Amino acid sequence: MSRIATIARRSFLLGTAAVAGGLAFGVYAVRRDPENPLSATLKDGEATFNPWVLIDSEKVTFITPHADIGQGVVSAQAALIAEELDIEFGQFETRFGAPSAAYWNTALSEEAVPFKATDDSLQPELMRDAIGGVIKLLGMQITGGSTSMPDIFV
């Protein structure tokens, strides 16, 4: 008789419960937002509502999570955020973000699958979601693959 025929009902139920629990925890972990790294270091008079903007009584500071070695990522992100907040250049400063899971690269999953970016059928979308979940869980703060601007613009 084969090995599969000897699996007891109790073993099957325990295995199924373990898999279902692991899947439920995985979905919870992927959907949970990472902690804001700026909130841990707030001083008196400072406020933050997301990991990219720090506001105090004198200035607004934009946090750039990507490395910039001449691509203009810092300027581009600053321009996008300044436009959204309706403030002029010179009314803010920029600085690089410390390593944090909150700065995971949201656009990397689009580039990591072997499908065209315009292919929005079921299999490519499922793969993008799965890879995006792994990237988020690992907190992959990556610069590269022409993903900095799409990541910033999300």
pLDDT in tens, 21-33: 888 888 888 888 8
Domain contains 150: no
Going by C-alpha positions, the residue among 1, 143, 10 that lies closest to residue 68 is: 143
Q: Are residues 45 and 82 in the same domain?
A: yes
Q: Are residues 16 and 44 in the same domain?
A: no
Q: What is the pLDDT of residues 32-69, one digit of tens each?
A: 888 899 988 888 888 998 888 899 888 888 988 888 87
Residue 86 sits in which domain range? 39-101
Domain contains 153: no
Residue 103 region by backbone torsions, left for phi larger than 0, else alpha for psi between -120 and 50, else beta: alpha
Domain count, the chain: 2
Q: Are residues 25 and 43 in the same domain?
A: no
pLDDT above 90 (res 121): yes
Domain contains 66: yes
Question: What does the pLDDT average to over 131-149?
Answer: 84
Reported confidence tier of residue 123, pLDDT bands at 50, 70, 90: very high
Q: Are residues 16 and 43 in the same domain?
A: no
